[in-house]
Amino acid sequence: MTHTLIYPHTTVHNAAGHLEIGGCDVVDLAHEHGTPLFIYDEQSLRDQCRAYHAAFGALTDLYEIVYASKAFSCRAMCELVAQEGLSLDVATGGELAAARAAAFPPARIYFHGNNKSVAEIELGLDVGIGHFVVDSFEEIERLEAAAAERGQRQQVLVRVTPGVRPATHDFVQTGQQDSKFGFGLADGRAAEAVRRLRGAAHLELVGVHAHIGSQIFALDSYRREVEVLFIALADWRRDVGFECCIFNMGGGLGIRYTEADKPSSIAALAEVGVSAVREGAARHGMVMPKLFVEPGRSIAGKAAVTAYTVGTVKVIPGVRTYVAVDGGMSDNLRPMLYDARYEAMLASKAEMPATEVVTIAGKHCESGDVLVRDVHIAPPEPGDILVTPGTGAYGYAMANNYNAQPRPAVIMVAEGRARVIIARETWDDVLRLQRPLGA
């Protein structure tokens, strides 16, 4: 079975002819917990965390793996990555709240975001997070003022846009000059940010950060990123005496969503990252900084599937067959945002040959609410349980209430046991914050 390339690591077909993940029958899970349902395989999550440690740890002691919680943030996930010895990237006060609820060690939290509010900055300082990743001149001023008010000295990294464009979708490129993130290298804003940070009495600049994009397959973009940044680091050391202790190369390693995708391995990423940083430091006569990598998708993506119930099967003769499921763009926006491709299969007919070519549509009032186009599945009928694999990253994280659709439940499965880690929203939950217009 080729499932393990795209599906969670524990995926098998069971004696009932159903898909089984983490020792749990997916059809039974769907009936017990309802659909749409995110099913995370605990083993796959832990395997990916360990693969990062193994790959980087084999090459250097000077590394840290920082899970980018935007990919999938919740208490249970923060607890799991803490147990696996990863650090945490949060991009908002909300993600920080999830980390705190999980009692994530604050010193191992990195606070990102291109527009942190004063309240978020103050919260970060008050809970003692390890590092802010500074993204704008306004943030430097606000952070310096808030740290001064508290009599604190805060360690920071500076986020740089190195002008490197990896081959990926335009909307997930972040390292190019025209970006809302960070300080550009080419236009001198990064050098100016370093100068101001070095002059800020309550901020201690300890490193640089860059994130060039997401779903990256070709690793040479990382090598270019590192080379470009080291040239800047050499200038900044000469000009303002900045010694870089932390080099955060960002996240972005791509994963396999379909059989056609050919991502690079975590080991190959480690090889490129470690060798490029080692060479960069040697070339410019610097001590090797600690290398940070910040994966999100490659930790969480493959660990989950989304289970749906098939509601209608609409055959348009000579055109296509629409199989409509009970979720859609409210639980998976990626096909609409990035033209993302997914696979699909009927968990209830796992052993049946995939003889039909169908298009999986959601239930929302948008023609574009299509989850998967032209995919082979077994003959579908209403009531079948359909799964889309590879939905563990930026699936639930981007879930929304379009059409007043309650957000799905999320469960974690392991060794035949399923635990609810995020409860299903109800219509009452959706209505809870609404107020009558009144007289």
The residues annotated as belonging to the active site are 365
Of 6 and 68, which CB lies nearer to ligand PLP in the complex structure? 68
Minimum gap (Å) between residue 135 Cβ and ligand PLP? 9
Can you say whether the dihedral through the CA atoms of 329, 424, 304, 393 is positive or negative?
positive
Minimum gap (Å) between residue 266 Cβ and ligand PLP? 11
**How many residues make contact with ligand PLP (CB under 6 A)?**
18
Residue nearest to ligand PLP (CB): 296
Which residues within the stretch 69-128 sit at the binding site for ligand PLP (CB under 6 A)?
70-71, 89, 112
Of 191 and 255, which CB lies nearer to ligand PLP in the complex structure? 255
Contacts of 145 (CB under 8 A, 6+ apart): none
Minimum gap (Å) between residue 174 Cβ and ligand PLP? 6
What is the C-alpha separation between 412 and 405, in angstroms, rounded? Answer: 22
- In angstroms, the Cα distances linking 247 to 202, 212, 221, 229, 312 are 21, 14, 16, 9, 52
Which position has the token pair 């052993």?
A: 351
Q: Per rule CB under 6 A, is residue 291 in the interface with ligand PLP?
A: no
- In angstroms, the Cα distances linking 4 to 29, 71, 111 are 20, 21, 34
List the one residue from 20, 294, 326, 331 that touches ligand PLP (CB under 6 A): 294
Minimum gap (Å) between residue 231 Cβ and ligand PLP? 21
Look at residues 292, 270, 268, 290 and name the one whose alpha carbon lies nearest to residue 281: 290
Q: Per rule CB under 6 A, is residue 22 in the interface with ligand PLP?
A: no
What is the C-alpha separation between 214 and 11, in angstroms, rounded? Answer: 26
Interface characters, 231-260, with ligand PLP (x: CB under 6 A): -------------------xxxx-------
Of 370 and 398, which CB lies nearer to ligand PLP in the complex structure? 398
- Please list the residues that pair with 213 across neighbouring strands: 173
Q: Per rule CB under 6 A, is residue 362 in the interface with ligand PLP?
A: no
> 118, 138 in Cβ contact below 8 A?
no
Q: Per rule CB under 6 A, is residue 211 in the interface with ligand PLP?
A: yes
Q: Per rule CB under 6 A, is residue 214 in the interface with ligand PLP?
A: yes
Rg (CA), the chain: 23
What is the C-alpha separation between 199 and 177, in angstroms, rounded? Answer: 25
List the one residue from 11, 298, 309, 348 that touches ligand PLP (CB under 6 A): 298
> Which parts of this chain interact with ligand PLP (CB under 6 A)?
68, 70-71, 89, 112, 174, 211, 214, 250-253, 294-298, 393
